[in-house]
Amino acid sequence: MTLDIKIKNLNVSFLTNEGTVQTVDDISLKLEMGKVLGLIGETGSGKSVLGLSILNLLPSNACVSGEIFYKNINLLSLNKKLIRNFRGKDIAFIPQNPGTALNPIMKVGNQIGEGVKISKEIKESKVLNLLQRFLLSPPGKIKNSYPFELSGGMKQRVLASIGIFNNPNWIIADEPTKGLDAIVRQQVYETLHKITSNTDCGMLLITHDLILSKNLCNTIAVMYASDIIEIGKTSEVLENSKHPYTKGLILSQPHKGLKPMYGFAPSLINPPKGCKFYTRCPNKMDICSLKKPDFYKTKDGSKVRCFLFDKSK
């Protein structure tokens, strides 16, 4: 049985007072067992919503359709109780907001491995080992701390420890290096790298940190306004980007000259009917405002949602 996660025609929208916000627009994606897939893109493009939908962690105003297969089961068909059987052991989620994800009145050591049925001694040594691995020292003191006593970066690493406690088959990590200084970021990178390279554990890495994604990911998918617009091998996407949006995103990075991209992403309530990048695109053609482009395959194996790569034209 394959441990791949196959996302098919996933749509997620939210009902709000302003209208329906379409945050994931018919996305199909295969997460291959043992591989690291990076999900990058501007703020608000739908990365976290996509990650949260895999484990049914979305808030109640979310309307979800499509299928997400894992171990031949459609995770989206499971109720809240059944999906809990997959959380932690099969698929772990390291959330983006350390401030709200931890229980404020419980010592962090008790939150790592909470509910896991193993002896107290084994649990204790595993907790100390994980704190050490994520450079939370001295581990004995950190274990007995409450979340308010830790910095944002430390809480982020506590969440990572909670996530990997059960040696999951999959980790969905949402911004695991956010708010960390360069040295600690490097350590978190090394820990994640160790986990994914020494085990069969696969990962969906959601990040703005393109250097982290370059070092960790086998494949990168780029999200723009609820669509995946480019997907391919990490080196291709980051060094030989095809989609005009990906090119702009790379050039806007500090290490590439910090050139800001023209314009803003469209509203996700009544988005434009053609290519959602049309108004900002330096290469736009008439057809782009009329029709949403399909995915076109390039000769180096990337897939790009852009008419520039439509060979029939």
Ligand X SMILES: Nc1ncnc2c1ncn2[C@@H]1O[C@H](COP(=O)(O)OP(=O)(O)OP(=O)(O)O)[C@@H](O)[C@H]1O
CB atoms within 10 A of CB 15: 12
Of these, 38, 48, 131, 281, which contacts ligand X (CB under 6 A)?
48
Binding mask 229-268 for ligand X (x = CB under 6 A): ---------------------------------------x
At 45, give phi and psi (nearest 5°). -80, -10
Q: Which residues contact 210 (CB under 8 A, 6 or more apart)?
A: 40, 238, 250, 253, 255
- Which 267-286 positions form the footprint of ligand X (CB under 6 A)? 268
Residue 254 near residue 72, CB atoms below 8 Å: no
Q: Which of 2, 27, 22 is nearest to 12 (CA)?
A: 22
The least CB distance from residue 39 to ligand X, in Å, is: 8
- C-alpha–C-alpha distance, residues 45 and 24, integer Å: 8
48 binds Mg ion (CB under 5 A): yes
216 binds ligand X (CB under 6 A): no
Omega into 282 within 30° of 0, i.e. cis? no
With CB under 6 A as the rule, give the number of residues binding ligand X.
16
46 binds ligand X (CB under 6 A): yes
Q: Which of 99, 73, 100 is nearest to 86 (CA)?
A: 73
The least CB distance from residue 52 to Mg ion, in Å, is: 9
Residue 92 near residue 192, CB atoms below 8 Å: no
Number of helices and strands (H, E) in the chain?
11, 12
CA dihedral for 43, 46, 50, 52, sign (positive or negative):
positive
Of these, 10, 31, 49, 92, which contacts ligand X (CB under 6 A)?
49
59 binds ligand X (CB under 6 A): yes
- Which 95-154 positions form the footprint of Mg ion (CB under 5 A)? 96
| Helix runs in the chain, H state only | 47-54, 80-83, 98-101, 108-111, 120-133, 139-143, 152-164, 182-198, 210-216, 234-239, 244-251
28 binds ligand X (CB under 6 A): no
295 binds ligand X (CB under 6 A): no
The least CB distance from residue 216 to ligand X, in Å, is: 17
Of these, 44, 66, 266, 271, which contacts ligand X (CB under 6 A)?
44
Q: Which does 59 bind (CB under 5 to 8 A by kind): ligand X, Mg ion, none?
A: ligand X
Which residue lies nearer to ligand X by CB, 142 or 160? 160
- C-alpha–C-alpha distance, residues 245 and 40, integer Å: 12
CB-closest chain residue to Mg ion: 48
Q: For ligand X, which stretch binds (CB under 6 A), given 41-49, 120-128, 196-204, 298-306?
A: 41-49
Q: For Mg ion, which stretch binds (CB under 5 A), given 1-9, 48-56, 151-159, 218-226?
A: 48-56
- C-alpha–C-alpha distance, residues 8 and 22, integer Å: 16
The least CB distance from residue 287 to ligand X, in Å, is: 27
Contact residues for Mg ion, defined by CB under 5 A: 48, 96
Contact residues for ligand X, defined by CB under 6 A: 14, 16, 21, 23, 41, 43-49, 59, 61, 96, 268
